[in-house]
């Protein structure tokens, strides 16, 4: 049986595209929808280029989540993937996808996580703290930012001459390699 995935993304969408490409010819997984809370999100264009239905919902819609949940149900979405999604997921949607919604964070949670910790701010904080390693955390989504049950973590070195850009590139490489595979593994267990 095929599982339909929806990807939620607010920005560039490179993870969204990478995941969509990974599952393109997959026998049992179909990326059926890309949703965003930002009209400017490059993720929308990436979805269009790949022929994946996509939609922008303004802030009001993300508050109660009703219309978005209806759309997810209309597309028979069985699993939700957050990839650089910066708004809070409405409780209605969280409750509709228990253990069926994951997020990725570009550090080794619980380090450098929480509200306001996203993008370059995370890497800046890692460098400021003098950490010797960083990495990625894939976790189930919960009501509190970056605090759901951890599914997987992958590590990389922080080098003495690292800049935010260099570290971000190294962390992104981990995201591209592992996020689709972890999603695939979780789906195989459903």
Question: Minimal distance in Å, beta carbon 24 to ligand GRF?
Answer: 17
Structure tokens at 104: 């990725």
Q: Please, what sign has the CA dihedral across residues 160, 164, 165, 171? A: positive
105 touching ligand GRF, by CB under 6 A: yes
CA distances (Å), origin 28, targets 39, 70, 127: 31, 23, 40
Site for ligand GRF contains 15 (CB under 6 A) = yes
Nearer to ligand GRF, 72 or 82 (CB): 82
Catalytic pick among 105, 112, 123, 139:
105
Q: Is 12 in the site for ligand GRF (CB under 6 A)?
A: yes
- 180 counts as binding ligand GRF under rule CB under 6 A: no
Q: At closest approach, how far in Å is the CB of 190 from ligand GRF? A: 23
3-state helix, strand, coil in the chain (%, to 5): 40, 25, 40
CA–centroid distance for 125 within its chain: 20
Span 43-72, contacts to ligand GRF by CB under 6 A: none
DSSP class of residue 188 equals H
According to CB under 6 A, which residues from 112 to 141 bind ligand GRF?
Answer: 118-119
Number of residues that bind ligand GRF (CB under 6 A): 15
Q: Is 105 annotated in the active site?
A: yes
Q: How many residues does the chain have?
A: 190
Residue 115's closest CA among 136, 90, 144? 144
- Measured in degrees and rounded to the nearest 5, phi and psi for residue 35 equal -120, 150
Contact with ligand GRF (CB under 6 A) among 65, 78, 106, 180: 106
108 makes contact with ligand GRF (CB under 6 A): no
Residues taking part in catalysis: 105
* Contacts with ligand GRF, residue ranges (CB under 6 A): 9, 11-16, 83-84, 104-106, 118-119, 175
């Amino acid at each position: 049986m095929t599982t339909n995935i929806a990807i939620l993304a607010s920005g560039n969408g490179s993870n969204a595209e990478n995941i969509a490409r990974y599952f393109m010819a997959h026998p049992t997984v179909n990326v059926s929808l890309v949703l965003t809370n930002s009209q400017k999100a490059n993720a929308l264009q990436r979805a269009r280029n790949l022929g994946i239905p996509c939609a922008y919902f303004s802030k009001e819609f993300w508050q109660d989540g009703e219309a978005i949940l209806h759309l997810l149900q209309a597309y028979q979405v069985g699993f939700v993937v957050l990839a650089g999604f910066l708004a809070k997921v409405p409780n209605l949607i969280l409750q509709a996808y228990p253990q069926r919604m994951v997020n990725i964070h570009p550090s080794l949670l619980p380090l450098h996580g929480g509200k306001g910790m996203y993008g370059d701010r995370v890497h800046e904080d890692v460098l400021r703290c003098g950490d010797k390693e960083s990495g990625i955390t894939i976790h189930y989504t919960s009501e509190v930012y970056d605090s759901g049950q951890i599914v997987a973590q992958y590590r990389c070195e922080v080098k003495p001459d690292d800049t935010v850009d260099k570290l971000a590139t190294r962390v992104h490489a981990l995201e591209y390699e592992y996020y689709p595979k972890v999603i695939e593994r979780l789906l195989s267990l459903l």
